[in-house]
Structure formats: structure tokens, C-alpha cells
């Protein structure tokens, strides 16, 4: 299908799913089934992700820089590239389509939720051997306390961005606090163990 046809198809799909979600939410407010609304919301989110990727691809095709795209998305050019870029291996000229650990985003969301709730044992549950030695519960508590002291109480979590880095899967998740934001970065090895954890300004 040509590019125009793709755009029209995506736009039509988003319109249909938005109407469906609105209907499910209205029914849910009465006596509707909440899982139906959740399913509709998930399908709409997936369609919006497709539209976002297509829009970024189009912006790149007409010469927009990663800095401009990052600014439009409210993020850095590096974060925009890591999420939407299509890197090419300089040795072969072939697209680099690294695989990510299935379910990594959900695992990272659970881990960072455990941090914000002070459940330190849960945070360390999937640590690899090196992380277990290097980061104990007291250290986790001190780091989170320093974040709260700097930018206030935790208020919410943004959308996770997942990308491969060599043999690892990296998940970046914005954490919004009263007076600022940090990015929680969780690095998983191929076995799903936590090989790295940072809270980055």
C-alpha cells in the first residue's frame, strides 16, 4: 500500500477505535464491563503508537532533525531516536533490528512502582548476582529519599520506552514528582534479570 493509503488506513482505524472506546467508557459509567473498556483502550493505544511511528518516519523523510522531533515530543533527541529511529549497521548497511526482552516494559513498571511505594525487597527480587551485592535495600531507600528531597513527592509515571542495547533490553520510564521529573532506567539481561538500575535527572 502507498504512503497515502497507509495514513488514511491508520487515521480511519484511530477514529473507529476512539468512538468504540468512548462508547465503552459511557457504558462503563453505567453498568458496562470495565474489561471491554480496557480492551478498547489498549487497541487505541496500539493504533496511536503506529500513527506516532508513521508520523516520525514522515518527519524524518522531509528532513526534520531528531532534535526537532524530540522537542515536538517533549523529550530529548536521543530518547526520540532510541524509541523511533531505524538505525543502520555501518558495517553492512543493513537495518539493525535488535530484539527486546518480551514483557520488559511491564516488568520495569512493576519494579519502579515498588520503588515509589518503598517495597525494597520487591525491587531486588529480579536483581542479578552483581546487583544483589552492589545494591541493598538501605541503598535503594536512601536514593529514593534523595529524589523526594530534591523534587518532591511522587505523582505519576509516564510511558515506558523500550530499546535494545547490545544483548540487553533497556526500559526508560519518566517519573513525575511535585517539582520535577526523573527517568527510571532498568536494564535487563537476556534471562530477564535486572543488570542495571538508575534514577536519572
No. of helices (H) and no. of strands (E), the chain: 8, 5
- Is 104 within 8 Å of 162 (Cβ atoms)? yes
pLDDT of residue 22: 86
DSSP-derived secondary structure for 118-144: T-HHHHTTTB-HHHHHH--HHHHHHHH
Q: Determine the straight-line distance between the first and last CA of the chain, rounded to whole angstroms.
A: 43
Q: Read off the pTM.
A: 0.60
Neighbours of 58 (CB within 10 A): 13
Say yes or no to pLDDT of 160 above 60.
Answer: yes
Q: Say what percent of the chain tops pLDDT 70.
A: 91
pLDDT of residue 121: 96
**Residue 100 phi/psi, 5° resolution?**
-110, 160
Angle, CA of 110, 163 and 150, to the nearest 5°: 55
Q: Of the ranges 25-29, 34-38, 123-127, 150-154, which one carries the lowest mean pLDDT score?
A: 25-29
- Is 132 within 8 Å of 199 (Cβ atoms)? no
Alpha helices in 62-192 (DSSP H): 66-73, 77-84, 104-116, 120-123, 129-134, 137-151
Strand partners, 166: none
Say yes or no to pLDDT of 95 above 80.
Answer: no
Long-range contact pairs involving 37-40 (C-beta distance under 8 Å, separation at least 24):
none
Place of cell 487497541: 43
User: How confident is residue 1, by pLDDT bands cut at 50, 70 and 90?
Assistant: very low
Higher pLDDT, 34 or 20: 20
Higher pLDDT, 197 or 201: 197
pLDDT of residue 27: 76
Tens digits of residue pLDDT in 113-132: 999 999 999 999 999 999 99
Closest CA to 141 of 133, 149, 151: 149
What's the Cα-to-Cα distance from 82 to each of 70, 97, 183, 191, rounded to whole Å?
A: 11, 12, 14, 22
Higher pLDDT, 104 or 90: 104
Handedness of CA 12, 14, 16, 18 (dihedral sign): negative
Tens digits of residue pLDDT in 39-93: 888 888 888 888 888 899 899 999 999 999 999 988 888 888 877 887 776 777 7
pLDDT of residue 83: 79
Distance of CA 182 to the CA centre of its chain: 14
Using DSSP's 3-state secondary structure scheme, residue 190 falls into: coil
Amino acid at each position: 500500500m502507498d504512503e497515502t493509503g497507509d495514513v488514511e488506513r491508520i487515521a480511519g482505524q484511530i477514529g473507529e477505535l476512539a468512538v468504540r472506546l468512548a462508547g465503552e467508557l459511557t457504558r462503563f459509567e453505567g453498568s458496562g464491563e470495565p474489561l471491554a473498556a480496557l480492551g478498547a483502550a489498549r487497541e487505541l493505544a496500539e493504533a496511536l503508537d503506529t500513527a506516532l511511528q508513521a508520523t516520525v518516519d514522515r518527519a524524518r523523510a522531509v528532513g526534520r532533525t531528531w532534535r526537532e522531533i524530540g522537542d515536538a515530543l517533549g523529550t530529548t533527541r536521543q530518547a526520540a531516536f532510541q524509541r523511533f529511529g531505524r538505525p543502520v549497521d555501518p558495517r553492512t548497511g543493513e537495518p539493525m533490528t535488535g530484539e527486546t526482552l518480551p514483557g520488559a516494559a511491564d516488568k520495569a513498571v512493576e519494579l519502579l512502582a515498588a520503588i515509589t511505594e518503598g517495597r525494597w525487597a520487591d525491587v531486588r527480587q529480579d536483581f542479578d548476582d552483581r546487583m544483589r551485592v552492589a545494591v541493598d535495600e538501605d541503598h535503594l531507600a536512601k536514593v529514593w529519599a534523595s529524589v523526594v528531597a530534591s523534587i518532591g513527592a511522587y505523582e505519576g509515571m509516564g510511558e515506558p520506552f523500550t530499546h535494545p542495547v547490545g544483548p540487553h533490553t533497556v526500559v526508560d520510564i519518566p517519573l513525575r514528582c511535585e517539582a520535577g521529573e526523573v527517568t527510571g532506567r532498568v536494564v535487563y539481561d537476556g534471562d530477564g534479570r535486572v543488570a542495571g538500575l538508575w534514577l536519572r535527572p
